[in-house]
Structure formats: structure tokens, C-alpha cells
Structure 1
């Protein structure tokens, strides 16, 4: 049985599309994920969403 999400994105392909649409509607500059993202996940999501994808832990660590 396959995973309901992609390990490349932490989301299903359909959910990535939904998030991208929500970001477009909200005119979001960045997408923040609560789970820590790997570098590959960040790159993949940034490309797929058309805006930077970052982990909350990355933001908190920058303070």
C-alpha cells in the first residue's frame, strides 16, 4: 500500500495544488510548514508552489 502523501513534499499531489491555489488567492509571499522540511522538500515545494516554502523551525532558529 502506498503512502497517501509524497515523501518529496509531505503532501499529496492534490493537496499541493490546493495549497498553491490558496496561496494565489491570498497573494501569499511564503508558505510556512510546521513539520521540519528537508532541503529536498523545500526545493521541491518552492518550485511546485511558486514561492518559498520554509519550516517553522527555520524561522524560529533565525531569531
Structure 2
């Protein structure tokens, strides 16, 4: 089960974003608008690759 759910401080007080939680093997992501819909998980390696891609603007 994921724990330590958090969202970006840049998202303000809105509920139009995602939250990230820790898992024993990586991370979990869920939609703040519908937390009851569940979440998806990634391995630590997958999460690191995603964060690296975001930081290097590969999705722009």
C-alpha cells in the first residue's frame, strides 16, 4: 500500500493534479479529483527515468 502521499507545492490548493506516494519498490500515482479510483505503481527505476525525462523537457 502506498504511503506519504504528496502533491507538488506548485499545484496550490486546487484538486486538479496528481499525487505521488511511496511504495516499498518505487512510487504510486493517483488523481486528486478521484482518489477512490485507485492508483498505478512504478518501480524505482521507472520513476527515476520518468523524473529525468521531465527535468530534461522530453515531453515538451
**TM-score tier (shorter):** under 0.3
Structure having greater relative contact order (Cα 8 Å, sep ≥ 6): 1
Question: Structure 1 length normalisation: TM-score?
Answer: 0.25
The structure that is helix-richer by fraction is: 1
- Kindly indicate which of the two structures has a greater share of residues assigned to strand: 2
Q: What is the TM-score of this pair, normalised by structure 2?
A: 0.26
